[in-house]
Amino acid sequence: EAEVAQSPRYKITEKSQAVAFWCDPISGHATLYWYRQILGQGPELLVQFQDESVVDDSQLPKDRFSAERLKGVDSTLKIQPAELGDSAMYLCASSFPTDTLNTEAFFGQGTRLTVV
């Protein structure tokens, strides 16, 4: 069964350091999402891509976060510099367009980031 792949699974970094997360969506999924989930809360969208273009990054803290999907396939989310408040689970998801039959978004296992 196809899966959304994320790496690393866990990351510990010191504050002020740079950190990057990688996501490989399910083959053929044009839409890719990055979510952040703070402990005890539901996931919150950071950025959404349609192919290589950003569709929604309204909740992305652009002073320190960046995301790219250069060839419209895999994606990288970067934080520089990391702050203590960035400790969270970072989830990647992908889906077909919602004008198709199979519209559900599939999530990866996430990257658990701890900033110390």
Partner 1 sequence: DAKTTQPPSMDCAEGRAANLPCNHSTISGNEYVYWYRQIHSQGPQYIIHGLKNNETNEMASLIITEDRKSSTLILPHATLRDTAVYYCIVRPHLTQGGSEKLVFGKGTKLTVNP
Q: Is-cis flag, bond preceding 8, omega within 30?
A: yes
Of the pair 72, 81, the CB lying nearest partner 1 is at 72
DSSP per residue, 35-66: EEE-TTS--EEEEEEETTEEEE-TTS-TTTEE
Closest separation in Å from C-beta 96 to partner 1:
7
Q: How far is 97 from 15, CA to CA, in rounded Å?
A: 38
Of the pair 45, 81, the CB lying nearest partner 1 is at 45
Closest separation in Å from C-beta 29 to partner 1:
9
Closest separation in Å from C-beta 31 to partner 1:
4
Closest separation in Å from C-beta 12 to partner 1:
16
Of the pair 48, 82, the CB lying nearest partner 1 is at 48
Q: How far is 58 from 45, CA to CA, in rounded Å?
A: 9
Give the footprint of partner 1 on this chain (CB under 8 A). 4, 30-31, 33, 35, 41-45, 48, 50, 55-56, 91, 93, 95-99, 103-110, 112
- SS3 of residue 92 by DSSP: strand
Give the residue among 73, 92, 99 at the shortest CA–CA distance from 8: 92
Of the pair 81, 112, the CB lying nearest partner 1 is at 112
